[in-house]
Structure 1
């Protein structure tokens, strides 16, 4: 007979205490019910029944094919490729990318025109509508988002309202040919909503196809959340009649005049504020503008002949090492609770500490940004460190002797990572190329402008007279090193990327080292007399896992790489196997493709496309650290990575703190308030006295080291907000959790007041330190929205599957060693006696009585299981996956021994899973919110955070799991062997990306001739490069040698940072604004992203018009006021300007000698200098 294991948290029930059953006759019970109770009960029954009916009917919506999928399949089957489809802006673009009839079909197979129907009504708007309808073969409305709202504003949108009325009435030559809809339904009863009730629009006859059979209950108009975000009704209109533009315009008679009258009335009423009126101008004052223009002479700052520019790699490395050395004593104190004293983290900390004083003084207009202000920052850090060395020299010397080999190992890790990425950048240093150039021109322009700025915020190189309204602090950290060394920015760009990679790598190494050293059972102590060989022999395993943590964070790729490898065999393979087993059909098709490659002359594998593993989820970006560093766009998310890990190191150090005796509780029998005033105890103390007593008890032991730690944590934490604002909320929460958990780890209870006070002091101090930034910066996000569709589980596993395998393995092992846990013991009990489950349950109910806490936990578990079942029924599989992982992470963090490192690992795992869940529910509204890529930036920014949290937790988890297997199993069983095989396969898969992507990326260079391998000059491609681009239907070829020579002349000869006019073309394919990008000089208006920095259209639109006038107008006298207004000192006429405005350039030659001077000319470029007396 199976034995029941006793449970420590239950109490035996006395036999005499068993209650006797008290049955009650059903008839008596029914007779006692009054009529009133029956009426109330009947009403409640009807309400509950109706609610339950609607709830289950609504669940059936998710069991049907989504209307967008249905309509996309219809489009692919019925609309010929190459047809022109009109889609609406601020709505999802159809068709979706799908596999239809065995073929991969994509949105790009069709031409598209955009109906910008939310724009203000005017003659231009009418022309847009008419022209687009002339081009379009089909009009696709993904939802009722626009046609449900615009017609209600008939005064504001008379043209667009008429458009919808004519379209739905079939009078524009288009006929409704397809529609798809799903509605809540149950037992043949359908609850239908109607999108044509309000506003009242003509109802196309073909809509009758969408009415389901059976009993239909039409509830009329439904909330937008149902008809736009949940189960929309997409419509497809096909052109069946060609209507001439004149006839079409005649249908809109009177609407243009009505729109003009509305604009007049609005102006008479004082106009209207933009949706979010900017509270800042984003413009520099005249005095600051003059100071910015007067400073920053290129040759005075970045002389190519100086020693640092002859040996750039060596001097860059030395500068970082010297800054780290200056900050080492500060790190020794701040990271005093970590095993390695945070040595690896000190380099990132040193850069932050040294960079802050020159930034602050330049932001307050106290000291201009210069080498002197940077040396002041180094001097202040060195002075503070000197004071620490003087007071703690004995401790520091002992630490250096004891951990000298660990210090040298850490230096080797950092230097090796740095040099490895320097080599990668040498193999491809180009800062632009025509198809995968990325946004380096924008970032390089920002970097150059920051390095040349006199005060902060730095001037905007793409908007003359304005400042950068962006989180520029990350680029500033690189610019600080550039100014310190006087290094050429085009070379320094390719050293900043390796530096950031190396900092990320060594920071992850340090954090993993400290966590693994605390959690593994066998860790050798430091031996001051040990040789290097002895040290590596005793610490080799620990160092290997620390290195694994660095590799997991900064080097490995995701599992989608495997799919990219086998894409070729998959495309060439065919199979008749149709299986419901996930993946079986795909494997059979790949195997068939591989078999074809065995034939002579057959090549089934395609060149590796490194781009696709970063675009797993459609319409989003899921970059991971190595991809970002390999692609080398100097984006804030990439710059912020090492500093986020630095904050994690600081948070771990906080969790390991222990109170000193001065802060300990008073002796028994004494009250803390007594030490203040014995008379207070004559009566109960007031709230004020309690607070004062608490302050005295908690502050009496505060040391200078505590204050220094608080300042450093605040400085590092809020630096994330000015480097990459997206990181700030997450790491604020992590640091707060660390502060809150510190007290619980020490004495088993939460001291919320202490956590709030301490964290509040950190937050207030840090925001005060960076206040000059926030006084000028304005974020342009417009709130939080609800996600319309979830990420398929397969995509999530393709990105994070390796980490989930590692963390779930750690969960199993960690739970198995928590022998005192009731949940663990119950799970073990049912596992061992699974066949006798009813008997086990019966005996548990008879012999044990659980505590209230256990009951609460059991109820919560039951609710979780019920919720997971409901989510599974509705197809919310990503939530079904993540929710249990969240719960288990919390449970394991609060069970077993209260080791800070143990709790911290589960805190990281919990945070990663919570963010993963959060982006499946919410997204941050930005300029992409109206289209299918509405959560692109949300996934992009937050998945980087998830990667770092899960990567670190995975490395630590695997270190613990492998040790537990080694210590507890003398002879590994089949399950263990299978686990190792799975681990090896997954490691192989994630290691493929750096192996395959690195050569693919370094060869993805500028076409044609290339500069010799070995240079780090990111502008060298311009000396030999040529490219062709399409502009308004014509192809143009640009020979960059002429542009390069002209840019070099500007760098050598221009004094200060004056405004230069150049054409504003996009830079992705055309390299627009190449002058401002490669010189750092401010231009009138840049080609990309200025609208995102400057909300509304009060600055960007007028400036674009002014630039067009300057280049297009035939008269120089006409443009003279614009040149004066914008302080233009140079006018650049190169190959792009000849494309941008070929007819308006003659005036510049005609003005030579009177208004301008021709100061430079080569075969394809002219540069004019505007005279001072203009």
Structure 2
């Protein structure tokens, strides 16, 4: 409880200190960035601290944290120095909005903290890796932080979110294993108020175009943002209930079952007959996991290729503190920055190296800071976030100055400057970062099936498509169907051509990869592959048709909205002589909304043709990352569309939509409710309530728990422990203490660094160290890796034939209890 309160107070005070900064720098947003202030404070505070520590100006300690906080406070005070009275007046005028945001934040933070305290264990999946990063950062004297699983190296991963976690842990005096669960709850709460704020700002901007919109509704309906983003799920959970009840199954007298529907749907586990006796509640082991594996690929020989299609509520139930989860609030911050840019918050001019840009310098610097931070948080986010910001700039310029090829030139220049700035601001990160990415590869035979696409995104598609239909038939905007159809057809042809061009280039430059692909598909040449792949695309046309319809309608309305947009009559040349905030135009945000829908569509469409090459060799990671970002964009647009339709529709159409929305949300919340009850054991935790994710150690292995507690207090140094596979208990000592080990999970190290070369012979050397009877061999290994602590526990004894006598003859144990002994290296 105390740890929760300390975190709540810390992030709240940080947001208050930062609010003058965001109030001044985000002038076009109706909430003046209040809903994003907590995320912004964490980003800026974290950036200042990380940069100072990376440059050697500050140490990775409490003093460094306080120095960064003082600098943040000073920056915020200086930027907002002339606006204190204005801010006070603004806060009085927006009390209901402020109270709503504060209540929503506290409720969301407390709710997920309670959920995590019911199943807090940092076990399974990649949780140990994430805790290892947090604890390693806490014990690293400077930055870049040490790689906990490859001693002598810095972390080669996008680790900014773990720096933020460690900062709050150190500031509040909380252990890393508690900070892990608190950070998950904090990110959830930041996502909730961030989503609320995006919808609030969009609705407030729309109210300027339609004064009939209720102020009360504009304050209350944005709650739909966190509902769709963080609480709604895909439809797999609803299907689990139908399957468990035996619906759409034909069960014969002898007990055999068959179903053409479930066979056609082809979602793993659901193709199997339900267990007897039938019921309503899913009871299959790990049934809730299946929702993250709805979309699936198969080779032409029908061999499965697993894909990952996580969505936020699954992520929070799973409890991984992975970068795609950590980045959610900051992705929302980027959307807020893009919206401020589109609405003209930085209208003006500046010069870079003598080159004029039709935007003030804040419009270059702030996106650079946020985009660079996103890349540092989760590198996969940067492409779509950059496209969103640049798209916002392009739309802003078209609305301001009309269409012309000059707008494209301006946007390219803007992208180059903002992109270069985002790289330069975070140079210390890139100097130590290696990536597994290796260009793009073609996806020739596996478009996403329409059925799978609708199971995955159906809860978002329903309100989005109804909202698009409303825009079409509302007739306030004149759709440009011809241009939209031509653009989308060109896009389809371009992506299809790119996929086959890429396949030809791969066959020329990397024939061994082509040969492997042909073998896996069971064909002998590219011509046969082309024929069979084309047939499959026609067979699985449903997903493509869904996306094409969405893209065509959204693009047609976007073209129409840009034609209808009026240039600001006050300042036709785009000048804003007053500096930061005044004379913000009443721009209709509909083009920005349609752009976000389009970007979501592109994220889902592109992996149907190409994917990013990594160590997996198929589109598993691209689907994972792209679909997750698409969920983020589409969930916000589903929330906005729902809010607008609830305010605009009348009579029959209003009731019809409300009824459809009810059933859609019923299906979307089936997984959320049942999954929550499963994961928390109906809120009856077997081992009591706690936020300490490492408490299980004291229960399961008290000897090891005591040894870990001793090492946490021991002087810094490299510890050697057993080496083993990923997603296992190997690397546990480094994970729980923050001390670097010689080698943790070899497979993950290879992923992070793009190869296993840096590992060298470490795995073999560790085995030799434990098993050799020669002290000379052991001593050479100890010196080679600068090992300080030799750890021998039950896992070491089960992994190796430990020859402890060589240590016993030369060394005296510095710790011994039960089945654990720790020797000091000489």
Alignment of structure 1 residues 78-117 onto 2, 5 Å: none
Please say if 1:768 is aligned against 2:424.
yes
1:483 to partner: Cα distance = 2.1
Distance 1:810 1:525, change over 3 A: closer
2:97 maps to which residue?
406
Closer, same or farther: CA 1062–1004 of 1 in aligned 2, 3 Å: farther
The reply to whether residue 916 of structure 1 matches residue 604 of structure 2 is yes
Find the aligned partners of 1:715 and 1:407 in 2 and give their Cα distance. Answer: 26
Q: What is the aligned counterpart of 2:459 among 802, 806, 811?
A: 802
Q: Which residue of 2 aligns with 1:562?
A: 238
Task: Tell me whether 1:1165 sits opposite 2:820 in the alignment.
Answer: yes
1:1112 to 748, 756, 771: 771
Structure number with higher helix proportion: 2
The match for 1:645 is 332
Match 2:801 to one of 1119, 1128, 1142 = 1142
> Does the residue aligned with 1:1144 lie in a helix, a strand or coil?
coil
Alignment equivalent of 2:692, drawn from 1008, 1017, 1035: 1017
> In the alignment, does 2:544 pair up with 1:879?
yes
Aligned mates of 2:696, 2:259 — CA distance in 1: 52
Distance 2:656 2:769 in 1: 71
C-alpha separation in 2, matches of 1:496 and 1:692: 39
**Deviation digits for residues 104-136 of structure 1 (CA, Å, limit 9, x no counterpart):** xxxxxxxxxxxxxxxxxxxxxxxxxxxxxxxxx
Distance in 2 of aligned mates of 1:1063 and 1:419: 38
Cross-structure match for 1:940? 624
Rounded Cα–Cα distance in structure 2 between residues aligned with 1:350 and 1:692: 28
Instruction: Name the CA distance, whole Å, in 2 between partners of 1:887 and 1:547.
Output: 29
Q: For residues 631 and 861 of structure 1, do their structure 2 counterparts lie closer, same or farther at Cα, with a shift above 3 Å needed?
A: closer
Distance 1:955 1:1095 in 2: 39
1:466 pairs with 2:153:
yes
Which residue of structure 1 aligns with residue 415 of structure 2? 759
SS at match of 2:611: strand
C-alpha distance in structure 2 between counterparts of 1:521 and 1:823, whole Å:
25
The 5-angstrom pairing of residues 573-612 of structure 1 reads 573-574=249-250, 603=279, 605-607=281-283, 609-612=287-290
Counterpart pick for 1:1074 among 704, 728, 732:
732
Change in Cα spacing, 1:569 to 1:859, as seen in structure 2 (3 Å) is closer
2:468 is aligned to 811
Task: Report the Cα distance in structure 1 between the residues aligned to 2:365 and 2:353, rounded to whole angstroms.
Answer: 25
Corresponding position of 2:224: 548
Partner of 1:320: 11
2:591 equivalent to 1:903: yes
Answering whether residue 733 of structure 2 is matched by residue 1042 of structure 1, we say no
Please name the residue that 1:113 is paired with.
none
Aligned to 2:659: 981
Unaligned runs of 5+ in 2: 297-305, 497-533, 566-586
Match of 1:789 in 2: 446
Partner of 2:677: 999
- The answer to whether the 8 Å contact 2:327/2:377 transfers is yes
**8 Å contact 2:249–2:258 — kept in the other structure?**
no
Once the two structures are TM-superposed, the CA of residue 406 in structure 1 deviates from its matched residue by 1.3
Aligned counterparts of 1:759 and 1:864: Cα–Cα separation in 2: 22
* Aligned with 1:342 (options 12, 27, 33): 33
1:556-581 superposed Cα distances (whole Å, 9 cap, x missing partner): 11111111122222389425899999
> CA separation of 1:948/1:860 partners in 2, compared to 1, >3 Å: closer, same or farther?
closer
* Residue-by-residue CA offset, 1:386-414 (whole Å, 9 max, x unaligned): 12332122321221221122112111111
Aligned residues of 1:515 and 1:901 also touching (Cα < 8 A): yes
Given the alignment of the two structures, is residue 749 of structure 1 paired with residue 412 of structure 2, yes or no? no
Encode CA deviations 1:353-402: one digit per residue, 9 max, x unaligned.
11112211221223222212221211111112212332122321221221
1:703-743 deviation line (CA, Å, top 9, x unaligned): xxx43453222111111111111111111111111111111
TM-score between the two structures when normalised by the length of structure 1: 0.60
Change (3 A) 1:1110 1:863: closer
The answer to whether the 8 A contact 2:158-2:375 is kept is: yes
Measure how far apart 1:1016 and its partner are: 1.3
Question: Residue 721 in 1 paired to residue 380 in 2?
Answer: no
- Give the C-alpha shift of residue 544 in structure 1: 3.1
- Deviation of 1:497 after TM superposition, in Å, equals 0.6
Structure 1 residues 499 and 659, CA gap change in structure 2 (3 angstroms): closer
Q: Is the 8 A contact 2:480 2:556 kept in 1?
A: no
CA contact (8 A) 1:740 1:752 kept: yes
Match of 1:210 in 2: none
Structure 1 residue aligned with 2:165: 478
* Partner Cα distance (1:861, 1:484) in 2: 51
Alignment of 1:600-639 (within 5 A): 603=279, 605-607=281-283, 609-618=287-296, 619-639=306-326
**Within 1, Cα distance between the matches of 2:381 and 2:485?**
36
**Distance of 1:858 and 1:1169 partners within structure 2:** 71
Alignment check: 8 A CA contact 1:357 1:373 kept:
no
Q: Which residue of 1 aligns with 2:522?
A: none
Q: CA deviation at 1:523?
A: 7.5
Q: Which residue number in structure 2 is paired with residue 100 of structure 1?
A: none
CA distance in 2, matches of 1:1016, 1:820: 52
Distance change >3 Å, CA 959–CA 1091, structure 1 → 2: same
Q: How many residues align?
A: 741
Q: Is the 8 A contact 2:480 2:559 kept in 1?
A: no
Contact map agreement 2:108 2:188 (CA 8 A) in 1: yes
> Residues 1164, 523 of structure 1: CA spacing in aligned structure 2 closer, same or farther, 3 A cutoff?
farther
Give the TM-score normalised by the residue count of structure 2: 0.84
Report Cα offsets for 1:193-235 as digits up to 9, x if no partner: xxxxxxxxxxxxxxxxxxxxxxxxxxxxxxxxxxxxxxxxxxx
- Are the equivalent residues in 1 in contact too, given 2:249–2:259 (CA < 8 A)? no
Helix, strand or coil: the match of 1:610? helix
Give runs of aligned pairs for residues 112-123 of structure 1, distance below 5 A. none
The alpha carbon displacement at 1:874 in A equals: 5.4
Q: Which residue of 2 aligns with 1:497?
A: 184
Conserved 8 A contact 1:427-1:1002? yes
Q: Secondary structure at the match of 2:696?
A: helix
Q: Which residue of 2 aligns with 1:963?
A: 647
Q: Residues 663 and 1170 from structure 1, CA distance in 2 versus in 1: closer, same or farther, beyond 3 angstroms?
A: closer
Contact 1:871 1:879 in 2 (8 A): no
**Counterparts of 2:431 and 2:719, CA distance in 1:** 28
- 2:435–2:753 contact (8 Å) kept in structure 1: no
Cα 1:1004/1:659, change in 2 over 3 Å: closer
Quick check: 1:414–1:503 contact (8 Å CA) kept in 2? Answer: yes
Counting only pairs closer than 5 Å after superposition, residues 22-421 of structure 1 correspond to structure 2 as: 311-421=2-112
Mapped partners of 1:866, 1:457: distance in 2 = 45
Tell me, yes or no, if the aligned pair for 1:357 and 1:374 is still in contact at 8 Å: no
Measured in 2, the distance between the counterparts of 1:518 and 1:404 equals 18
In 1, are the aligned partners of 2:148 and 2:738 still within 8 Å (CA)?
yes
Q: Distance in 2 between matches of 1:919 and 1:453?
A: 39
**Deviation readout 1:862-899 (Å, 9 max, x if unpaired):** 99999999997454332222122112211111214434
Determine if contact 1:523/1:539 at 8 Å carries over to the other structure: no
- Are residue 1086 (structure 1) and residue 718 (structure 2) matched? no
Contact 1:520 1:963 in 2 (8 A): no
Aligned residues: CA RMSD: 3.3
